[in-house]
Amino acid sequence: MQMLIYGASITYGKCDPSGGWAERLRKHVDENAKNIDENSIFNLGISGDTSEDLLKRMEFETKQRLNDGEKPILIISIGINDSQFLHDENKLRTKPDKFRKNIRNLIQIARKFSSEIVFVGLLQVDEARTDPIPWNMNKSYKNEYVEQYNEIIKEVCKETNTYFVDVLMLLEPKSLYDGLHPTSEGHQRIFEVVRDSLKVQKFI
């Protein structure tokens, strides 16, 4: 089995010593494989990435990891950084119309390589700790924008018949390490939802 998991810092597993939900998914697939040496599962999350950043690298990185004759499972989780509010410019980091176009383009790129494509949605934040974010007082994550961008992803997935996993309301504030990134417990819950969704689709 080949699986490529794209995203930003939450996909990467920031703030989780156990490597995040994507690493848990890799371990689960490996532990349940008949031939573990046939698996190649890649966590391609990069902290800070937006949909625009992912568009620049997705096709190239996918090509570098393809096994001949094998169709990979492609999992995408992007958008939280697009929804950032920039105070000094009084605007969202990525305009909603541009974000919608980017999501469509990401799905188009993914379909060059596979029909097994999954979009994992966005998580609500704890605004008491993210408006603004302590590590950059110019930026805020607000749930009204997170929900708006999550809805855009959901709509595009519906329009393109792409499988969507909604995790928006999955975690409580106590399961967010810094108001944005999940704790180990939070990542475990995301993993379980993604794992079960992949099983429903018979992807794993």
CA distance 186 to 179: 12
Instruction: Give the C-alpha separation, 186 to 166, whole Å.
Output: 15
Cα 14 to chain centroid, rounded? 13
Fold of 2-200: Rossmann fold (3.40.50)
Beginning with the edge strand found earlier in the chain, give each strand of the sheet holding 85-86 in spatial order.
Answer: 91-92, 85-86, 139-140
**Burial annotation 9-39 (CB, 10 A radius, 16+ → b, else e):** bbbbbbbbeebbbbbbbbebbeeeeeeeeee
- Position 5 scores a pLDDT of 98
In this prediction, the residues of the chain whose per-residue pLDDT falls under 50 are none
Output the pLDDT for position 17: 95
Q: What is the pLDDT of residues 78-134, one digit of tens each?
A: 999 999 999 999 999 999 999 999 999 999 999 999 999 999 999 999 999 999 999
Determine the pLDDT at residue 35.
79
pLDDT for the residue 91: 97
List of E strands, the chain: 2-7, 40-45, 73-77, 85-86, 91-92, 117-120, 139-140, 163-165
